[in-house]
Amino acid sequence: MSENPIGIGNANSSSHEGSVLTVLNLSLVTFLVIIGLSMVAPILPTYAESFQVSYTLVGFVVSSFAVMRMLLDLPAGLFSRRFDKKKIMMSGLLLISTSSILAGFAPNYSFLVVARMIEGAGSALYVTTATVFLAQISGEEKRGQWMSLYMGMLLLGAVFGPTFGGIIADTYDIRAPFFAYAMVTGFSLIPTFVLPKLPNSGNGSSLSRNQILHDMREVLTNPSFLLVTFAVFTTFFLRTGVRTTLIPLFAANNLELNSGAIGLVLTIGGITTALTITPMGSISDRIGRKIPLALCLILTAGVTLAIPFSTDLFTLSVAVAVYGAVIGFSGPSAAYVTDVSPEDKLEISMGLYRMISDFGFVVGPLLLGLLADITATPVAGASHSGLIGIVPFVVASIILIVAFFVLLKADDPVKRRNQSKTRSVEAHQ
């Protein structure tokens, strides 16, 4: 099997390569979805805590979203191979909007978990299909730039969402951000509807069990695909385990910050990520994908250790700002996965990539939430499990360091292709 699938989908993508307007349209929808998702980020752990549950169960509320998304990522990729991608994305958006309303009305913890799982199902349909859509219209030469532009818009949503969510919760109540999320996601149906229709690569036989298993086996026996996807898994682990779970809990319980302040901290991290993520995509088109992603892993490992030493809003904001900036180095990760995916297996590759990555979404909050429970310092009379210690942050850092050394063994087709072009030019001079 080829280890150099940089031309993935060339036979297809050249015939329907998109314009920058199409990329911006798709990015706008993702921006709206993420701004809604980020609205509930500052209040979700506290909202779950209001049902008198432990940090572990708080982590499960975050993970339950990812559990359902992980289970449906691959089916969503398969659906996008055969059916209209726009209809799949719109169905996902409807589920997300509906689930947000249900979460806002949740009468108990179990109901909230179910609502979050429905949201995960909608997210799987939308995000996986949108990723396939983007990869399908991105040309080889601009793949890193366009995918990082998409990721930049995604992170831009993460910039504004937490602040809006915190302000809405402080102005109205802790349930209000869920209803705002439903409205924003519902509005995103409009730009999705006007996206161009892409031809499907699949047919009636392409979804047969034998063909699916054959395609999965081909993708999963590609060493570089596994190595790169594991690295991305750790960034997803960090995103929900540290950013969405530990930081809001640490800010609320250790530093006694309110929802507005927590939203501001997360927004600062989102701003610094947005500042680095898009330029890094263009850079990766020239120097390759491995260097930026490797730097992301090792630098984030160091910054994560600084977070629990924050003593107030200012020091936490500085730590999260640096954290956000180095996270932006992971911008070319989706392009990297596309580069190392076997030819003509784009939908399967993206489905498996999303599934493995979302496993990080599941494990991160559960593992780090459990560690936070076990190592918390009890506070007499407090409604929470106690003050969060350094142990869960150390574990997250160790996992990132392991991923760094794993990634070093991966192939980098873009770097190899550019080196080959350079040698060719030099040979003709």
User: What is the span of the domain harbouring residue 212?
Assistant: 16-197+205-427
Q: What confidence score (pLDDT) does residue 323 get?
A: 92
Collapsed DSSP state (helix, strand, coil) of residue 9: coil
Structural domain includes residue 222? yes
Residue 1 placed within a domain: no
- Note the pLDDT of residue 76: 79
pTM greater than 0.75 (yes/no): no
Is residue 3 one of the residues assigned to a domain?
A: no
**Distance (Å, rounded) from C-alpha 232 to C-alpha 337?**
9
Question: Tokens 């209000």 correspond to what residue?
Answer: 176
pLDDT for position 5? 36
Residue 297 lies in a domain: yes
Query: Is residue 105 one of the residues assigned to a domain?
Result: yes
Distance between terminal CA atoms of the chain? 34
What was the pLDDT predicted at 11?
36
The answer to the question of residue 2 being in a domain is no
Q: State the CATH number of the domain containing residue 44.
A: 1.20.1250.20
Confirm whether 386 is domain-assigned. Answer: yes
Residues 6+ apart with CB under 8 A from 427: none
pLDDT by 10s per residue, the chain, length 429: 333 333 333 334 434 445 667 777 777 888 888 888 888 877 888 888 888 888 778 878 877 887 888 788 778 777 777 778 888 888 999 999 999 999 999 999 999 999 999 998 998 888 888 877 777 776 655 666 666 667 666 666 766 777 788 888 888 888 999 999 999 888 888 888 877 776 655 544 455 677 777 777 878 788 888 888 888 888 888 877 888 788 888 888 889 888 778 878 888 887 888 788 778 777 877 888 888 889 999 999 999 999 999 999 999 999 999 998 998 888 777 778 777 777 667 667 777 887 887 788 778 888 888 888 888 887 776 666 778 889 999 999 999 999 999 988 888 887 777 767 666 666 666
Q: Half-sphere exposure of 345 toward its Cβ, with a 13 Å CA cutoff?
A: 29
pLDDT of residue 318: 94
Closest CA to 133 of 148, 152, 147, 118: 147
Count: domains in the chain: 1
> Which among 357, 376, 369, 359 is positioned nearest to 395, based on CA atoms?
369
pLDDT at residue 428 in the model: 64
Integer angstrom CA distances of residue 404 from 299, 307, 349, 352 = 10, 20, 22, 21
Look up residue 253 and give its DSSP letter: I
pLDDT at 1: 35
Residue 60 lies in a domain: yes
